Structure 1
């Protein structure tokens, strides 16, 4: 029997998982207009499967409308079913945006950034993950040997990314057991988050076709190395000129970029609930793991929450164009739309309030007491603590709206309840299967 091609319309919601509905490929022209049916409570599906709590109940009808600019159509040429799907927006049945749509959340933030400062966000997500198709051996981190033993996975992944509309940048063996890192070129606004979703799904798609798995869980072993997502970003003005770099100012940031970073630091404990949104995220965010545990900005410090990235060589114009800041307390349990959106919302608040970055030297060498005395806050040490910070943050309700914030808090607190009583290793095992 000849198979009939199916296309999926997808979204990446609170759990950071990609979900959607399929339809016959022949129906694509009409589905680009009317979408597929969706319901509010779908956003409450947890990373572990069950819906434990929902403010929406069983009522309501919506549509999930594919965005034609996000099309993925990747044929691996091996006889497997091609990857054919779109990312899209969740709308009410009259076509207006749903207030809990993750892409609309980011879209509102980007619109506010343009209105507040005339700026566009230029961003890229740097993903770490564990690939099961290679044996772990001593001395493997960053080694040519580990790269050699992964076989064709990396080359196939980069080809799949490019076919899906994502420009590859790098692929390398990382520090952890069987761990790799993949990066893509930066993109403007919404496309940066769309690309992040595509990179994760292409890695999973390639791995499964090779008989293995790519796991993006924040950490697989409580005593081991975690897998983070580092979000690199800079700004363009309305004429597409660089608007981040000023070597004469603190941290080499323009005045507006400095206000933006100060806004992120001011809201960082609440932001963590969005960017590090699983119970096991906080097993990764512990001291001495090259992961951030304090809310500060620094030059070339990989334990800083905001790291000023170095620009090597080139002209002053090259430096202006390539200069960027890296946000480090994030992982792939987060929806890229929510993670990027909350950073922009917080940064816009910093611009509007003209917040200033702290003028501190030697932060990396300070002990905990010195940091606290200097007004530097430690990141939340659990998801429960981060959710409390999010609920108490005065700006968060404005960014999300009361309904979306309530849904998010319920979703994540229910998830905490699902793993209550499990030790850390059992939690890590559970999330390894989910992500």
Structure 2
């Protein structure tokens, strides 16, 4: 279970004793090291590791890591803000022992997400996990609302022997085809077994649309745990594939053409155990609060894409008529709309109803993406915002007058446009805080500059194996 309390020097109450017991237990199970994992502003997973015997010390005093990684780009170049990006200073990485998992596909290793704390014992303002936990806690305290979230995982499976960083699909067969499932059968079975051993409840696993593409859906958790799970699942997929001589990419665009990899977010708001997206008097059973939440997200989608689709490669994926959700439109079970109202099957709607946000990919830092989505939704909920007219079918086919009447417009067609919208959005910037908001802007502008003279194929190649 994810720990919702902030870490403190000396350890959270009971953490040192718990880590000492865990260390002995892990050693007895043949675990020699613990991966301490977080995601940087560019969406890249970064780690340090400690021997199992050092887990108690890490729980008490953290493990050192430079704050410079907050302004790393995907290619490991460094940009700067007025606060971040210098070689000075240090942070402490504190593992969340409640989320620790023994890695079934990496014998000898365990894994835990971390929060980053200053040497003075204060929250690091650039830590996305800490920011998300704060937003979740404040929502409960101020509004009596909690959340459940899940992040879909899409990835492309390539041959491990492809030359020169090229992508060669490791499987053939049509989209959603039985052929593709059979060809990945052994690897897929090992993946399901590994995730089950790590306590991850998988809801679906299937071939997807693009060449070599698969998708895995997991059960919903509180937002911090959902983001943790997204990181853990990707670590597991990569490790299982490597053991089978395969290579995987979660990049938004493995190739410049065709359908890319998404990371759709499912999100629902709850009060006192009741799902606000079901059983209400509004459209499709939404309560007024759930509609306000959805309307708040819809209104801020142009700015949100700077966080949910944060890479130049993201904009190779964000194309009309490819189910990427590139228009500010909503609809029930409308997979071309940016916001899909999921009611669920009759009989389980009180549990299953949720909001799916589609212009999201796995270059996004999942903690930042969820933090900003919740902040946008809460702003709509508090202001009693209402959704415009629903869109059915493909929004690209709407005539301009009808599109304008419904507020349907194209999301930013470049990362630069998304950054401009983000800079102008006070709600999202306030949610992240000035230090992290400035880091988001600086890193996005750095990514734009890094690929300024590259064509689409070169951009796809630049990010292919980063994510």
Aligned counterparts, 1:3-402, within 5 A:
5-55=32-82, 56=84, 57-76=86-105, 81-133=107-159, 135-137=170-172, 139-238=173-272, 240-246=273-279, 248-314=281-347, 318-360=348-390, 362=392, 364=395, 366-402=398-434
- The verdict on how the C-alpha distance between 1:74 and 1:51 changes in structure 2, with shifts beyond 3 A counting, is same
Runs of 4+ in 1 over 6 A off after TM superposition: none
1:426 paired to 2:458: yes
1:334 deviates by 0.4
Deviations 1:298-342 (A, max 9, x none): 11111111101242242xxx2211111211000000011011111
* Residues in 2 aligned to 1:297 and 1:313: alpha-carbon distance in whole angstroms: 21
**Distance in 2 (alpha carbons) for counterparts of 1:10 and 1:95:** 19
Q: Is the 8 A contact 1:116 1:352 kept in 2?
A: no
Indicate if the aligned counterparts of 1:263 and 1:350 stay in contact, CA closer than 8 A.
yes
Q: Secondary structure of 1:304's partner?
A: coil
Question: In 1, Cα distance between the equivalents of 2:170 and 2:143?
Answer: 50
Report the 3-state secondary structure (helix = DSSP H, G, I; strand = E; otherwise coil) of the residue aligned with 1:195.
helix
Post-superposition Cα deviations, 1:174-227, rounded to whole Å, max 9, x if no partner, equal 111000001111112311111111111111111112121111000122221111
How many residue pairs align between the two structures?
425
SS at 1:155 equivalent: helix
TM-score, reference length from structure 2: 0.87
Decide whether the 8 Å contact of 1:53 with 1:414 is kept in 2.
no
Bigger shift: 392-401 or 264-273?
392-401
Q: Determine the C-alpha separation between the residues in 2 that align with 1:33 and 1:164.
A: 25
Deviation, 1:118, is: 1.1
1:20-78 deviations in Å (ceiling 9; x for gaps): 212221011121121100221111121122213354212222101000012121244xx
In 2, Cα distance between equivalents of 1:290 and 1:396: 25
The alignment partner of 2:345 has SS state of coil
Match of 1:405 in 2: 437
Q: CA deviation at 1:5?
A: 2.2
Matched residues in 2 for 1:330 and 1:157: separation? Answer: 24
**RMSD of the TM alignment (CA)?**
1.9
Residues 244 and 340 from structure 1, CA distance in 2 versus in 1: closer, same or farther, beyond 3 angstroms? Answer: same
Q: TM-score, normalised by structure 1?
A: 0.93
